[in-house]
Structure 1
Amino acid sequence: MPDRSGATLFKDLPEEIINKILVLLASKDVGRCRVVNTSWRSATSTPEFMLQHHRRQPSLPIVDGLGRPANHVVLGDAGAGASNQQLWPFPLGSKRRFEDQLKGVCDGFLIIYRGHKFYICNPVTRKHALLPQPQVGQGIHNIMIGLYRHHPTGEYRVLWVSRSHQTSESSLYVLTVGSNRPRCISVTMPTVSSSSAEEKLWNKLHSSSDRSSPVHYNGSLHWHSYDKREITGGGGDIIVYDTETESFRWMRSPTQPCRYRKLFDMEGTLAWCGGSVSKSTSMDVWVMQDYEAEIWAFKYRIDLSTVEASRQLYLTSLKKKKSRPLEYAVQLFNDMAVLNERELLIWFNNKYVLRCDIDGKFLGIVNIGKSQYRMWLTHLRLKESIVPIPGHKMQEDEEPPFSTGHV
């Protein structure tokens, strides 16, 4: 009903219209609405609403500030055609410790490693849960290698490898989030028929998971093996874990020789980049064209000389710049992260991070906080979620990985 001025009050709108408006709000605003009105709290707490809200969120690249606290980072317009891009920074708060490690991301949940403990966290709701590890005796080292959603059941599951320090034997465990009993599963891999080949798989999986988290694509987890020369028994250098059948297989990456290799998610597509063999002067990007046939398509090349020439032109055109522009020339590429289908972040000279487009046009130097410092570019992306952690109340730990928050 309209009020005395003739204006329609928000609370008088039909419920379906209110829900359509609420689902468009940012995550923090949803949290504020829950405090203001009990009916809004009920409307925004249904599984249907939370999943719909999650699907509408942008996929934000995650950067690691290496111990420096930061909030959401917005890369402002650095030139014609550049987007007002957001990043999600890790650490999540001012009390973050340097030894914290981001081990995995799935559907808005993070896995954080701290002090030999693993936590599943929702950085939006500021809730966390301590993950039970496999208890298989003395001298066993547990390695968390992946977090995924098991689509047939809707469960979130954690994949572990337990490795004996004495015998070097390994076992595979799966933990359903919300449960306290990891279950041991047998290894199924069509191309592996011997125990020695299986052990080589574990070694590759161990070293690959230490360097980077798996890439989610097509219902599977993907790790890139960093030593292609020693791989046997599979004819590929990408380890694939099918999350439904709980089986492994090998997949081939692009066949070109390169010094640097990395798998990542390019806005919903499995992508691969590699640096030149002799020098770190260029990076080639490929995307998966046919997953079943393992066919890759060349996307584009980022060349150091092109970026440096564009950077010099950019600095020359600056007028009345308040801060002193970066004087160091771009000498080598170290790593890369995708912002969107046209823009990239590149870590260069082992210290700085720049922003450029896929044609090599320089778009500026990236800063977090008040000063420039080195960032760790992860290939991980976060879509905010207000979905609660399954069963987190019975696993709550007294020492949270970050401070409490709003939603």
Structure 2
Amino acid sequence: MERENRVTKGKGQNTELMPRELITEILLKLPVKSLSRFKCVCKSWLSIISDPEFTTLHFGLAATHTERLVLFVPRTREARSIDFNLPFHDDSACITLNLEFLPPKPFEIQICGSCRGFVLLNSCQSLWVWNPSTSAHKKLSSSPIVLTGMFFIFLYGFGYDPSTDDYIVAQASCDLYGLIRVELFSLRDNAWKEMEGVHLSKINNGNDRRNGTFLNDSNAIHWLTFRYDVLEHFILAFDLIKRKFSEVPLPVGFKENCDFNFCDFGVLGEFLSLCAGGYNCAAEIWVMKEYKVQASWTKIIVVPIDQIPTRYFTLICSTKGGDIVGKLGNTTLVKCNDQGQLLEHQYYYDCPNGFPVAVYTESLLSLPFDND
């Protein structure tokens, strides 16, 4: 169709073809939401926008990045995508997502991680990798260890290995005797592989499952976990390129503060972050300005104890304006300013396990060899 790429020079004048390269440059500057609609304009635009080289280039342009929350509400059995930079009550901030690919069973969904626009879901003991922006999805096979039924998974992680252009799911499990085994799933190979020679102390009990946080610049998955032999938190990191575990130091003096009743972990902007508080002490938020450099930990927020509305705050992310987004208990999404003052809140549902929520970056990326 020649008319697809023609532009009119003026009334009564002939049209000429717009170079494909110019169209590509224009489309690269548009957000995912617009590109998803523009696939329907014509076949040539569909071809450009669907090209893996285009989607990779588009994702690499920071100016086009839009971060959102994906949130599951058990009461209404809905999945929602929320622009957390807008007010929660703004009608344009929230959209409903399609989850028809999941089996019609009880609404039990856990979010085990997110990376480059994809979200790792655990639904009814099955793992799925899902792109909320495009609805692309892939069900992972069960690992050989899980199929034995003798091991409990206590760590999940999801990240990207740029050296192989591969997405990796990591899981660690232990049996009743404390034997720990670590498995990796390669989406490119579509297979699980057990890591050999891994020596991890038993860092979680049987009722404490933790999900990892992927930090792009480090190419590593991170978990805030607990060492029971010495009763202290620590950050475990897994380098996806080197396939190696290490420890990230906590802030100086952090371990000695025994007044903390809760401690949460995540990413604020491009930095690893900690949020801690207690019944008898102020709540604090720290960020690590330089990766793995202990002295770079910086305390950015201290909220006096009499201003804390609840002792169970879960840190999620920060807005472009520097406000903090998190959960209060199992019921409410909140936004606070950089002084810890509550700006707004949105109640969802009081359920024992809360509502699963995570940050994802809108993208048009596809998974390796994904033909679904």
Q: Which TM-score band (shorter chain)?
A: 0.7 to 0.9
Structure 1 partner of 2:334: 354
Structure 2 partner of 1:313: none
Q: How does 1:6-405 map to 2 (within 5 A)?
A: 12-55=17-60, 56-68=64-76, 69=78, 71-74=80-83, 97-136=106-145, 138-141=148-151, 143=153, 145-164=156-175, 167-188=177-198, 198-201=200-203, 203=204, 210-216=209-215, 218-225=218-225, 227-228=226-227, 230-231=229-230, 237-254=234-251, 255-256=253-254, 257=257, 258-276=260-278, 278-279=279-280, 282-295=282-295, 296-303=297-304, 305-306=306-307, 330=309, 332-340=311-319, 342-348=322-328, 351-366=331-346, 373=349, 376=354, 380-393=358-371
CA-based RMSD of the aligned residues comes to 3.7
Cα deviation 1:275-309 (Å, max 9, x = unaligned): 13x34x742011113334323121121335457xx
Between 250-259 and 333-342, report the one with greater CA deviation: 333-342
Structure 1 partner of 2:4: none
Cα deviation 1:91-125 (Å, max 9, x = unaligned): 85797952111112111111111222111112222
Provide the rounded CA distance (Å) in 1 between the counterparts of 2:171 and 2:140.
Answer: 11
**1:63 CA displacement:** 3.6
Amino acid at match of 2:222: H
Residues 160/76 of structure 1: CA separation in 2 closer, same or farther (3 Å cut): closer
Provide the rounded CA distance (Å) in 1 between the counterparts of 2:181 and 2:311.
Answer: 40
Q: Which has the higher contact order (CA 8 A, sep 6+)?
A: 1
% same residue: 19
- Report which of the two has the higher share of strand: 2
Cα deviation 1:248-273 (Å, max 9, x = unaligned): 12222223312211111111111111
SS in 2 for 1:390: coil
Amino acid at match of 1:156: Y
Provide the rounded CA distance (Å) in 1 between the counterparts of 2:134 and 2:171.
Answer: 26
Residues 298/157 of structure 1: CA separation in 2 closer, same or farther (3 Å cut): same
Q: Give the TM-score normalised by the residue count of structure 2.
A: 0.78
Provide the rounded CA distance (Å) in 2 between the counterparts of 1:89 and 1:243.
Answer: 33
**1:380 CA displacement:** 3.4
Provide the rounded CA distance (Å) in 1 between the counterparts of 2:135 and 2:59.
Answer: 16
Residues 153/5 of structure 1: CA separation in 2 closer, same or farther (3 Å cut): same
SS in 1 for 2:325: strand
Provide the rounded CA distance (Å) in 2 between the counterparts of 1:170 and 1:230.
Answer: 16
Residues 75/42 of structure 1: CA separation in 2 closer, same or farther (3 Å cut): closer
Cα deviation 1:343-390 (Å, max 9, x = unaligned): 1234346543332211234322225xxxx5459576732011211222
Residues 304/21 of structure 1: CA separation in 2 closer, same or farther (3 Å cut): farther
Provide the rounded CA distance (Å) in 2 between the counterparts of 1:147 and 1:76.
Answer: 25
Structure 2 partner of 1:318: none
Unpaired runs of at least 5, structure 1: 193-197, 308-329, 397-407
